[in-house]
Amino acid sequence: MTDYADSYANGEYADAAAHAAMSEREEQQHLVAYAPLVKRIARQLNSQASGAMGREDMEQIGLMGLLEALRRYGAPDTGFASYASLRVRGAILDELRRQDWRPRAVRQDSHRMRDAVRALTRRLGREPNDREAAEALGIGQDEWRQFLLDDCAEEMLSFDDMLQEATEEQHSTPGPEQQFMVRRSLEQALHALNEKEQRVIQMIYEFELSYKEIAAVLDLSDARVCQLNKSALAKMKAALAQA
C-alpha cells in the first residue's frame, strides 16, 4: 500500500507553469489515450451514486476534467494517471454536488435510519448484523442494503475531498520535507486499516472498481463492501487528523 500513498504525495504533481503548452493535436491524442480511464471512473461512480446521473453525462464531465488535468500537468508521464484520476473523479463529484443528487426525503430517511441504528448498536453493545438492523427499522434486508449503498455514496465524496486536500497541500509546498510529511501521513492512515479495508480502498481509489466488482473479487455482498469502505474512511480521517 505504500506505492498507493506515494501516488498522491510525490513530486510529480507539478504546477502547469513548469510544462510547455501542448498543441491542440497533442491534447486530442492524450484525451483519446486516457479515455478508458474516464470510462472506468464514470462506471464506478455511476454504480456507487445509484445512477443519479447518466453514465454518458459522467463521461463527458470526466473528459473535461481530464482536459483540465492535461493543461495543469503537462505532457503525461508515469505519474499522470494517478493525478488525472483524482481530477476526473473530482469533476464528476462536483457536478453531482451541484445537482444535489440526493433528494431531501432520501437525506431525511438516511438521518432517521442512522439514529435508529446507533440506538440499536448501543443497546446490543456491538454493531448489528443485516437481519437485526432491518428488523429494528421495520424494512426488508434488500431495502437495508440499498440504504447502506446510498449512505456510503455520501462518504465517498468526503474521501475524495480528503485526497484532494493532501494533493493540493503538496502543490503549495513542494519541498522534499513537505513531500515526506504528506507521504508519511497517508501511509499512517493506510496502516490504520485492516487488510480487508486496505484492499477495498485500493480497489476503489487505485483500480477504480465498482462495489459490485469488488464484491465479486472478495466474495462479499455490495452492502458489506460499502460497510468496509465506510469504516476505512472513518479510520483514515482519524489517522490524518492526528498526523
Mean pLDDT over each residue of the chain, to the nearest integer: 78
More confident residue, 23 or 166: 23
**Alpha carbons within 13 A on the beta-carbon side of 100:** 5
Question: pLDDT confidence of 45, banded at 50, 70, 90?
Answer: confident
Q: Identify whether the C-beta of residue 35 lies closer than 8 Å to the C-beta of residue 49.
A: no
CA distances 240 to 66, 74, 166, 187, 236, Å, are 28, 30, 10, 10, 6
Question: Given the C-alpha cell 507539478, which residue does it identify?
Answer: 14
The grid coordinates listed for 231 are 469504516
DSSP state letters, 49-61? TTTSS-HHHHHHH
| Least confident range of 5-9, 32-36, 127-131, 183-187 | 5-9
d(C-alpha 104, C-alpha 102), whole Å: 7
With 80 as the cut, is the pLDDT of residue 224 above it? yes
Q: Which of 15, 5, 4 is nearest to 171 (CA)?
A: 15
Name residues whose C-beta falls within 8 Å of residue 133's C-beta, 6 or more positions apart in sequence: 117, 120, 144
**Predicted confidence band at 216 (pLDDT cuts at 50, 70, 90)?**
very high
pLDDT confidence of 220, banded at 50, 70, 90? Answer: confident
How far apart are the C-alpha atoms of 220 and 95, rounded to whole Å? 30
Q: Residue 45 has which C-alpha cell?
A: 461512480
The answer to whether 42 touches 95, Cβ cutoff 8 Å, is no
Cβ-based burial of 203 (10 A; exposed 0-12, middle 13-18, buried ≥19): buried
Query: Highest-confidence range of 19-23, 131-135, 183-187, by mean pLDDT?
Result: 131-135
Residue among 92, 243, 69, 71 at smallest CA distance from 153 = 92
- Angle CA(37)–CA(239)–CA(124) in degrees, nearest 5? 100
Residue 235 clears pLDDT 60, i.e. is over it: yes
Q: What percent of the chain has pLDDT over 90?
A: 21
Q: Report the alpha-carbon angle 165-157-57, nearest 5.
A: 115
Report yes or no: 151 and 223 within 8 Å, Cβ to Cβ: no
| CA 148 – CA 225 distance, rounded (Å) | 10
Cell numbers given for 138 = 421495520
Predicted local distance difference test score (pLDDT) of residue 8: 47
